[in-house]
Amino acid sequence: MRLRQQLSSAFTFSAPFAVLLVLWALLVPYFNVNPRLFPDLGSVMQAGIEGFQDGSLIGHIGASLLRVAVGTVLALVVAIPLGVAMGVSPVVSSFLTPLFRFFSVLAGIAWIPIATLWFGYGFGAITFIIFNAVFFIVTYNTLLGVSTIPRQVRDAAASLGAGRWAMLTEVLLPGALPNIVTGIRTGLGFAWRGLIAAEMIATNVGLGYMLFVARDFYRTEVIVLGMIVIGVLWLLLDRLLLAPLERATIERWGMVQRA
């Protein structure tokens, strides 16, 4: 029964895409659209198959994902401890909040010009951009999360004899976790866009680069393929990793804040 329900919901979810594909397959040949303006379905599929066979598509995807992973992990390793440390003291956190808001505004794309100047074109610059996009937003959200933990909860833990470590692992981190996870999701959203933009400018491998080079040769089938890959990847990342993570933490620890 449950399987059937899942199947039918999967069907209703994918039906609009099927309609769109059919329209695409029919309309483009019917109106005889110039392939330099918009490709037909067959050539995009062929470009996809070729990309898989000669490994270039896998290479671009791998390069993009690796950059996101490295930048994000580095940012989280620094941002969460920093955010917690700053959020503990209300004086420090109220003083620093505007700073981090300011820098999280710049997150991502605005760093591209200076990053390419500092690190040259390549892996360093792009990782730096992703690091920045995630770092400031996650720090800001951690700061916010820790400083909105109700005073009583911390007092209660302290009066029950919680040491610094217990306070950290059992009060501060769980209390801030919903905010942290929301921050990660937003930050990654900006980082992903920043990645595509940065790859268009500053590198010679990656999805953004693939799109931008294809534009020089009017190879719209590669561009559309790249757009679909970018969309699918982000959808998978967001739906399969980030959204469940967010839901789980909010269900598990979200109540702490409403106390």
Partner 1 sequence: MSPLLQAWSAYVRLTVRWPSIASIVPFVPVAAVWWMVTELELFPRVFLPGPVEVVRSFGSLVYKGILPEYLQDSMVRLAVGAFWGIALGIPLGILVGTSQRAHTALWPLLLFFQAIGDIAWLPILVIWFGYGLITMTFVIVYTVIFPVVLNTVLGVRSIPITMHRAALSLGASRARILWEVVLPGALPNIVTGLRNGLGYGWRALIAAEIIVGTSGIGFLMFDARRAGSVVEILLGMIILGILWYIVDSWILAPIERATGQRWGLVTR
Q: Say which residues have a Cβ less than 8 Å from residue 159's Cβ, sequence separation at least 6.
A: none
List the one residue from 85, 234, 253, 254 that touches partner 1 (CB under 8 A). Answer: 234
For residues 79 and 185, which CB has a smaller minimum distance to partner 1 in the complex? 185
Q: Say which residues have a Cβ less than 8 Å from residue 105's Cβ, sequence separation at least 6.
A: none
**Region for 140 from its dihedrals, namely left if φ exceeds 0, alpha if ψ lies in -120 to 50, beta otherwise:** alpha
Residues 223 and 182 sit within 8 Å (Cβ to Cβ): no
List the one residue from 17, 30, 31, 165 that touches partner 1 (CB under 8 A). Answer: 17
Dig out the tokens for 50 from the structure. 């070729």
Give the Cα separation of 161 and 177 in Å (integer): 23
By CB under 8 A, tell whether 63 contacts partner 1: no
Residues 99 and 86 sit within 8 Å (Cβ to Cβ): no
List the one residue from 25, 58, 69, 105 that touches partner 1 (CB under 8 A). Answer: 105
Cβ at position 2, least distance to partner 1 in Å = 20
For residues 112 and 144, which CB has a smaller minimum distance to partner 1 in the complex? 112
Residue range at the interface with partner 1 (CB under 8 A); choices 47-55, 63-71, 78-86, 194-202: 194-202
Interacting residues with partner 1 between 106 and 125 (CB under 8 A):
106-114, 116-118
Give the Cα separation of 121 and 231 in Å (integer): 25
By CB under 8 A, tell whether 192 contacts partner 1: yes
Give the Cα separation of 35 and 15 in Å (integer): 26
Residue range at the interface with partner 1 (CB under 8 A); choices 21-29, 120-128, 203-211, 251-259: 203-211
Give the Cα separation of 244 and 250 in Å (integer): 10
Three-state DSSP class for residue 8 = helix
Gap between the terminal Cα atoms of the chain = 39
List the one residue from 101, 157, 168, 249 that touches partner 1 (CB under 8 A). Answer: 101
Each residue 129-168 as x (binds partner 1 by CB under 8 A) or -, in order, gives ----------------------------------------
Dig out the tokens for 184 from the structure. 């990660």
By CB under 8 A, how many residues form the interface with partner 1? 59
Chain residues that interact with partner 1, rule: CB under 8 A: 12-17, 20, 36-37, 91, 94-96, 98-99, 101-103, 105-114, 116-118, 189-190, 192-194, 196-197, 200-201, 207-208, 211-212, 214-215, 218, 220, 223-224, 226-228, 230-232, 234-235, 238
